């Protein structure tokens, strides 16, 4: 079913909206959540919660891109779930992602006021726009969707080591870009 029709179902308060959403975007959101939480049970619950959140927010929302809208909800819920379980040392994949993202943190005086998340994201968006398409997809698949390095390597026909090096260069590039923009985290 086309996205606009699914959104119409939400607006009509027709519960088939959830069915159609799960049919079309369930696998993508489960995969995304699984990578962050590291648990299929958590992922299943996060996806269920995503559908509920979608139900609660449409209306009034009418997202321009339903796929990104749902993935964004699923990602946020999955991070919350991962945080809650961090004490149990589960979801180690996200720990590794955070370790890597340390490379991207710009140097800045600690007394400065931190930027809003939305402002930081806008700066990253601008940096992404300047990349070639493959680099852009590689970065977003790794740090937004949480894909593993070896999976990315297989996807693009590269070695894991080469892919890790490339991601490292991208992280260094992002750090320089954020520093240029004066981003404070």
Partner 1 sequence: MSDKSERLFEALGELSDAHIDEAAGAEPAQQKGKPHRRRWAAAAACLALVAVGVGSLSGVIPLLPGAPGNGTGGAGHDEASTFMSYAGPVFPLTLREENDSISAQRDITLDFSPWVREWVSNEEEVAAMEGLTDAERQDAMEQHDEWFPEGGYHRSSDHILVTDAYTLTNPGDADQTVTVLYPFAASLGSLDEGLPALTLDGAALEAGLHVGSYAGGFRGVDGPDDPRFLNLRQAGSWEDYRDVLSDGSYLQNALEAGPDVSAIPVTVYEFTDPYGPARDGDAGIPNPSIRASFGLDYDETTVLTYGFHGARYDREGGTMIQEFSIPMSWGREDGLFYLLVLGEDIEDLTTGGYVTGGTDADTPTLEGCGVTVERYESDLDTMLREILTPEWEERSRSYYQDDLRLSIDFETFYRAFLEHLLSYGLLSPQTVERYDGSWLENMVRDVTVVDRVCWLEAEVTIPAGGSVTLTASMTKEASFDFACAHTANQGVKGYDLVTRLGSNLSCTAQTATLEDRGQIQIVRQNFGFDLENGVNTVTLDPEVEHYYLEVRRAETE
Select from 179, 45, 40, 159 the least CA-distant residue to 107: 179
Q: Binding to partner 1 (CB under 8 A): which residues in 84-103?
A: 84-85, 87-88, 94-99, 101-102
State which of residues 13, 61, 112, 155 lies at the interface with partner 1 (CB under 8 A).
155
Q: Give the count of residues interacting with partner 1 (CB under 8 A).
A: 81
Shortest Å distance, C-beta 59 to partner 1:
19
Select from 144, 22, 124 the least CA-distant residue to 79: 144
Q: What are phi and psi of 57, to 5 degrees?
A: -105, -10
* Residue 161 lies near partner 1 (rule: CB under 8 A): yes
State which of residues 7, 50, 54, 69 lies at the interface with partner 1 (CB under 8 A).
69
* Residue 10 lies near partner 1 (rule: CB under 8 A): no
State which of residues 130, 134, 169, 176 lies at the interface with partner 1 (CB under 8 A).
134
Contact by Cβ (8 Å): 54, 21: yes
* Residue 158 lies near partner 1 (rule: CB under 8 A): no
Cβ neighbours for 120, distance < 8 A, ≥ 6 positions apart: 178, 183, 185
State which of residues 8, 28, 179, 181 lies at the interface with partner 1 (CB under 8 A).
28
Distance (Å, whole) CA 112 – CA 102:
19
């Amino acid at each position: 079913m086309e996205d606009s029709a699914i959104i119409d179902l939400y607006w009509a308060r027709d519960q088939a909206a959830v069915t159609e959403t799960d049919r079309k975007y369930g696998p993508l959101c489960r995969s995304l959540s699984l990578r962050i939480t590291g648990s299929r049970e958590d992922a299943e619950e996060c996806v269920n919660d995503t559908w509920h959140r979608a139900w609660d927010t449409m209306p009034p929302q009418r997202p321009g891109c339903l796929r990104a809208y749902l993935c964004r909800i699923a990602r946020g819920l999955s991070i919350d779930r991962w945080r809650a379980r961090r004490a149990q040392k589960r979801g180690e994949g996200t720990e590794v992602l955070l370790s890597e993202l340390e490379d991207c943190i710009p140097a800045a005086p600690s007394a400065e006021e931190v930027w809003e998340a939305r402002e930081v994201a806008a700066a990253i968006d601008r940096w992404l726009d300047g990349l070639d398409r493959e680099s852009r997809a590689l970065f977003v698949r790794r740090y937004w969707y949480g894909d593993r390095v070896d999976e990315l390597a297989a996807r693009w026909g590269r070695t894991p080591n080469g892919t890790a090096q490339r991601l490292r260069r991208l992280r260094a590039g992002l750090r320089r870009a954020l520093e240029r923009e004066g981003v404070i985290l």
